A and B are shown apart, each in its own frame.
Chain A
Amino acid sequence: MTRHIPWILTALVGAVSLAVVAVSRGETVNALWIVVAAVSCFLVAYRYYALFIAREVMRLDPARPTPAIRRADGLDYVATDRTVLFGHHFAAIAGAGPLVGPVLAAQMGYLPGTLWIIAGVVVAGAVQDFMVLFVSMRRDGKSLGELIRMEMGQVAGTIALFGAFMIMVIILAVLALIVVKALAESPWGMFTVAATVPLALAMGAYTRWIRPGRIGEVSILGLIGLLAAIVYGQAIAQSPVWGPIFTFTPVQLCWILIGYGAVASVLPVWLLLAPRDYLSTFLKIGAIAALAIGIVIMAPPLRMHAVTQFAAGGGPVWSGGLFPFLFITIACGAVSGFHALIASGTTPKLIATESDAPLIGYGAMLMEAFVAIMALVGASILDPGIYFTMNSPAAVIGTDPASVSAAVTAMGFPISPDLIVQTAKDVGEHTIISRAGGAPTLAVAMAEIFSHVFGGPAMKAFWYHFAILFEALFILTAVDAGTRAGRFMLQDLIALAVPSFKDSKSQLPGFVATGLCVAAWGFFLYQGVTDPLGGVNTLWPVFGISNQMLAAIALMLGTAVLFRMKRDRFAWVTIVPAAWLLICTLSAGFLKLFSTDAKVGFLAHAAKYGAALDKGEVLAPAKSVAEMRQILFNDYVDAGLVAIFLAVVLSLLVFTIRTCIAARRFAAPTAREIPAQLVTTP
């Protein structure tokens, strides 16, 4: 009993902190209450729920050899120290998602997002990661598509592979859109990000020929170069000659990114991708750690309301009400289907013993939820007036400080034109109006926190551009790596119809698949960039729906495996989160298709513009009949995409139910694990 006492105390601290966050109205709440509430909940969940899943549901067996032992080769399959592997897995799952989603969700206030992140990760997100890791670990570290094929059949596996490819396309488009939003009309930001290309090339040459393999050394040199680029970026931005050269409109940036994606993804990996990944990975981990320390030192009060009127819907950042749209807006951080691809990727091949699985699978996801909590705190310590100035589309609030100030004040978040101008000046930008996408808002918050700890107000502009650089850097790495991964997925898919397409001797299929992949995400990126409502408004919900659907698919796989292991008694562990995700994504997808509100439903929006087009009218923001047709076309593409996602997830639901029913007919387990007794250490 005594060993439970510290945990009971932790639970009490968490409960009290949550109560403070949830109940306070009118008085300001310190951000640390949220942090303490989250950390205590996570610790207790890890100690009891993760352990329960490990012991009772999965029955992990420390003596059972893992793939790293069975197939040890010193390369892909290596038994790895749990601390080292935790870092590897966390670095692979944490990206832009947990930073952006919570910032966007802050339009409903900090409370709904906080509660969903904490509850979502404990019941759904961490369970999903842990479960997929477990299933893959018992099957030689096979990938999600192969696992679904093994346990649910060939057709289900192919559908899942196709769904994963579409999700990849949307993720790449959304990530690229965030970069566009952050760098448009920002010569300082653009210069620093552009400078990373020659810097990475130089680092690539260094690790190739001068000092091969010296990653730490080359990363320190690279970091010095990055800091110099940020410092000199200010002078470049202010120069009458260089300033305009590095100033781009969103559409120009869109084309630059598409070109970059196409070229970067066919270059040798050691030249650009690898060195850029060193910089972005270490910078990401460093910045996350610095943010945590900064928030604890600064202990800032939350200035956003606990719940805003937009919880009922009609918010300027994204449309739709709290249910179901909050649960798809915060995807990564609470539960992210993409993690299923990581947890069935390199990690299961590196795990040394099954008893390390709870720490890696469940624990690393809790850590990611903590990152999401920090992003939410960051957005919520800003003046709400600034938050809505930065995140509302120009079509809603206008473009000059006076009109923006009037519009945002009318929403109930008073802000003066002077403050808008001054904030932009403080961070060294021309304007902060309508910079949706999450990254710029988070950068302002990070500048606020970092400058409080180090350097004072004079350093704000530096920290702002440091934050933008850090986000842009790892997003560009993801675009590059994602295009390569998407290319192979596409080649696998096309090869089902045209087997010769997988031929690795010929260069042509690779180039064709890369081109198709870039064209696919480029299409959605262009659509988002030219969208008058800001793009994020359209693309982020589609991304959220697709990502959560992948999570539902992964949890359904987990359910099917538990049934086939004859562990049906505990299948609620995956059924409950899978059902919740199905309810959220199916209703969100349904609303996106059929809502009569033109701001929410793609078809209603198309009908509105179609009707106007028939009458020969041109509706704002379109300026010509051709643009009207473009908007109509985009609506139909988006609607088609959502319909495809719905079809994918519903068909996999049918496969899951069939698999579970079939498994119940057998008295013995039918799951296709590598049997423990056949396993011998080589």
Chain B
Amino acid sequence: MSHLLHTLRRMMHLMVGQPDYDAYLRHMRHHHPGHAPMDRTAFFRNRQEARYGGKNGGKCC
């Protein structure tokens, strides 16, 4: 049940362009251990700008 809720939550976030923050942290830890990752707020703002900046071709009719 908690797995289902977790999936739903991630789905809702990705629908509005927010990928998983924990996955981002994991990626940074594994591949760029020297770099400090963005904090949660910076990550949120970065993804918001990426989704809505207009360079993604928008959404469908």
A residues contacting B by CB (< 8 A) are: 72-76, 78, 80-81, 83-85, 87-88, 91-97, 143, 168, 171, 174-175, 207, 212-213, 215-216, 265, 269-270, 273-274, 277-278, 281-282, 285, 332, 336, 338-339, 341-342, 345-346, 350, 477-478, 481-482, 484-488, 547, 682
Contact = CB atoms under 8 A, between A and B. Distances in A.
Contact of A95 (B26, B54, B61): B61
A547 B16 contact: no
Interface string B31-54: 100000000110111111111111
A97 B61 contact: yes
A213 B19 contact: no
A212 B59 CA distance: 24
Interface string B4-23: 00010111111111111001
A80 B11 CA distance: 10
A487 B49 CA distance: 16
A332 B61 CA distance: 8
B2 interface: no
B47 to A, nearest CB: 7
Nearest to B27: A74
Contacts of A341: 57-58, 60
B60 A87 contact: no
Interface-central residue, B10, B25, B54, B56, by most chain A CB under 10 Å: B54
B6 to A, nearest CB: 10
A478 B41 contact: no
Interface size class of B (residues with CB under 8 A): 35 or more
A370 B56 CA distance: 26
A215 B15 CA distance: 11
B31 A278 contact: no
Contacts of A92: 15, 59-60
Contacts of B60: 92-95, 97, 332, 336, 338-339, 341-342, 478
Contacts of B13: 215
B61 A171 contact: yes
A72 B27 contact: yes
Contacts of B16: 215, 274, 277-278, 281
The 9 closest A-B pairs by CB, nearest first: A484-B54, A74-B27, A74-B24, A269-B52, A97-B61, A213-B44, A485-B58, A87-B11, A91-B15
12 contacts: A87-B11, A87-B14, A93-B60, A97-B61, A168-B58, A171-B61, A215-B12, A269-B51, A282-B12, A285-B15, A342-B60, A485-B58
A281 B10 CA distance: 14
A622 B36 CA distance: 67
Contact of B10 (A81, A96, A97, A274): A81
